[in-house]
Amino acid sequence: MNTFPDRSIAVLPFVNMSTDPENEYFSDGITEEIINALTRVEGLKVIARTSSFAFKGKSMDVREIGNQLGVRTILEGSVRKSQERLRITAQLINVEDGMHLWSQNFDREMADIFALQDEVSLLIADKLRENFGHFELKEQLIEAPTQNIEAYNLYLKARYHHLKWDGDGIRSAIELYQQCIDMAPTFGLPYFGLGYCYAMAGSWGSSPDLLELSKQCLDQGFTLDDQSALGFFGKATLAFWGHWDFAKGQEYFLRAIALNPSYTEAKEGLAELYTAVGLFESALELAEDSLAINPLSPNHFFTRGNVHYLQGNFSKALQDMDAALRIDAKFSHAIALKQLCLLHLNRQEHLELYLKVEPEVEQPEACRALFQLLFPGTYPDLDPMSVVQQLERAPSVTLFPWLIFLKTQVQEFDAALDLLTAAIETRTGQIINFKHTPLLQPLHQQSRFQVLLQEVFTAPLEATETTGPAQLDPTKRVLLSQQEVEHLLPLLRQLVEDQKVYLDSALSLRSLAEQLDLGPNKLSWLINEHLGQNFNEYMNAFRLETFKALALHPSNQHLTLLAIAYDSGFNSKTVFNAFFKKREGITPSAWVKKHR
């Protein structure tokens, strides 16, 4: 039996069942929207998109997937899109025993897409609550972001390319986001998507024009929606990576996280910011928090490992790089940082093998030259100065500044500081971590280096709690007064024990709440808090006793045990058998044989 939280779920990528394989973007988009909707439920652990999508196209037992992701339930489904018609199928599965807790088909018009997403999300949350215990639900989890369905469809296609996180994907996303904006100028989300793409392209490509375009897009988006976590994430990215404005970046990352506490990309961004300024413990806490709900994100492992690397804990950093590469063997950031870890750990044999077999390594000769400089005699035939000259003649774009590293280690400090100053002026990617980069340590005694620190880190920054002040667990909030409890419990017992509402196999928490003229949140709290059971446990206990009485009655000997179970209110053979064995310790047939 696993020990994962009862109220936890992973939503696997819905399978594209359309005749057109190009509709893959649509099924992915539907999946992401359901994930986002469920993250709005307080008290429910929802695995982030990156980790859920790691299983896309893989044929694996859901129990194994659940164990890898650390959840109690898995949602899987499919989407069929044909012109203006949609069919969505969904099924909720208990990881512990593979039992289907709920399944349903939905046939709708494309125009009803937002209402359908909301309906599916609420039903899933309802079933989790009925099976695993109380949490509160809002009446609506998804609001329509636009009335232009064609523009929304185009937005999903743009985001599909955006989330490929490569050059071609970002370029396609930029084009599609712009088309979406032209089609629906009052639709906020594509402005945020376009602004983020421009911010990243401008930050890593050193393009002020793109950064200005990013600002324009984000500002326009905020005139349409000033409470968007995606929008604040875009602003944070522009401030931090684009302008190295640490205070503004922190402010915007925190705003994004406050709006969506499960937004692991925003937490990762804030962790990277804290890493750059040296708030390592806070960065590690954010990285750990991100990995708890996004355990298969190679980026999160890199972020945590990068903190370890900058702290000088190269063994831990290497473990995180290996973890990232097990998920994505071609993840360039992890490949390059693994090289540096092996270098610092003086693992020449391992490094040499890695440089030869991994085609995506960065500057292998520079890496060997650094090894020779740090550990003299390891590459006796290699002249580091010749490598320096080669890099000067043919500079290339890499994650790490290998030429600056080499200039520093051969003690050409002025030349190294010239290069470092130029990289800082253009805000070039990972150079943002220069304050604590181990291979730049010899520069710390140079006055020019200290001036650079003062210019970049103009004001001290303090880490801020991302979860806010300590709050009462949302699953423990008191929803009814003692007087209300004393009034409602007899009414509930009358419905269940006297009117036998449990015999209705379609009975749900919501339908029972309607009979009591009570909100479903309050009924869920009442059953869990004052009867010590979740909804299904409560109802199935009565069904079980009814079954035992009916099964032993002589007039029912001609009926199958399953037929009697259905007459008792159970709606599933699997649920009946599992619940019976859990309560009685033996199978239904063995129990009947023993007692007849």
pLDDT tens, the chain, 596 aa long? 567 888 999 999 999 999 888 899 999 999 999 999 999 999 999 999 999 999 999 989 999 999 999 999 999 999 999 888 999 999 999 998 889 999 999 999 999 999 999 999 999 999 999 999 999 999 999 999 999 999 999 999 999 999 988 888 999 999 999 999 999 999 999 999 999 999 988 876 558 899 999 999 999 999 999 999 999 999 999 999 999 999 999 999 999 999 999 999 999 999 999 999 999 999 999 999 999 999 999 999 999 999 999 999 999 999 999 999 999 999 999 999 999 999 999 999 999 999 999 999 999 999 999 999 999 999 999 999 999 999 999 888 899 999 999 999 999 999 999 999 999 998 887 899 999 999 999 999 999 999 999 999 998 999 987 754 334 577 778 999 999 999 999 999 999 999 999 999 999 999 999 999 999 999 999 999 999 999 999 999 999 999 999 999 999 999 999 999 999 999 999 999 999 999 999 999 999 999 98
What the block records as the tokens of 461 is 């920054």
SS3 of residue 16 by DSSP:
strand
Distance CA 522, CA 359 (A): 59
pLDDT value at residue 267:
97
- Best CA proximity match to 561, nearest among 575, 574, 569, 550: 550
Residue 471, classified by CB atoms within 10 Å of its CB into exposed (0-12), middle (13-18) or buried (19+), is exposed
Other C-beta atoms lying within 10 Å of the C-beta of residue 191:
28
Torsion-angle region of residue 206: left (phi > 0), alpha (psi -120 to 50) or beta? left
Other C-beta atoms lying within 10 Å of the C-beta of residue 504:
13
C-alpha pair distances (Å), 302 with each of 102, 282, 319: 37, 16, 10
Q: Where are the domains of the chain?
A: 8-144, 148-260, 264-466, 487-595
CATH number of the 264-466 domain: 1.25.40.10
CATH number of the 8-144 domain: 3.40.50.10610
Domains 8-144 and 264-466 share a fold: no
User: Cβ(268)–Cβ(286) under 8 Å?
Assistant: yes
SS3 of residue 277 by DSSP:
helix
Residue with tokens 């009591």: 516
Residues 6+ apart with CB under 8 A from 360: 330, 332, 335
The b-or-e profile of 195-210 (16+ CB within 10 A means b, else e) is: bbbbbbbbbbeebeeb
**Residue 87: strand pairing partners:** 80, 107
Distance CA 154, CA 151 (A): 5
| The CATH classification of domain 487-595, taken from the options 1.10.10.60, 2.40.50.140, 1.10.357.10, 3.40.1710.10 | 1.10.10.60
Distance CA 90, CA 82 (A): 18
Distance CA 126, CA 509 (A): 8
Residue 557, classified by CB atoms within 10 Å of its CB into exposed (0-12), middle (13-18) or buried (19+), is exposed
- Best CA proximity match to 579, nearest among 188, 85, 97: 97
Distance CA 108, CA 105 (A): 10
Residues 6+ apart with CB under 8 A from 570: 505, 540, 543, 547, 576, 579
User: Cβ(242)–Cβ(209) under 8 Å?
Assistant: no
C-alpha pair distances (Å), 513 with each of 128, 135, 331: 17, 15, 51
Strand positions, DSSP E, 96-155? 100-109
pLDDT value at residue 472:
52
Dihedral pair phi/psi, residue 557, rounded to 5°: -65, -20
Please give, one letter per residue, the 3-state secondary structure of 63-95.
Answer: HHHHHHHCCCEEEEEEEEEECCEEEEEEEEEEC
Strands 73-82 and 45-46: unpaired
CATH T-level topology, domain 148-260: 1.25.40
Residue with tokens 């005139």: 223
- For the chain, counts of helices (H) and of strands (E): 29, 6
pLDDT value at residue 164:
86
pLDDT value at residue 260:
94
Query: Is the pTM above the cut of 0.95?
Result: no
Other C-beta atoms lying within 10 Å of the C-beta of residue 365:
16
Residue 66, classified by CB atoms within 10 Å of its CB into exposed (0-12), middle (13-18) or buried (19+), is buried
Continuous H helices in 142-228: 149-162, 167-183, 189-205, 208-224
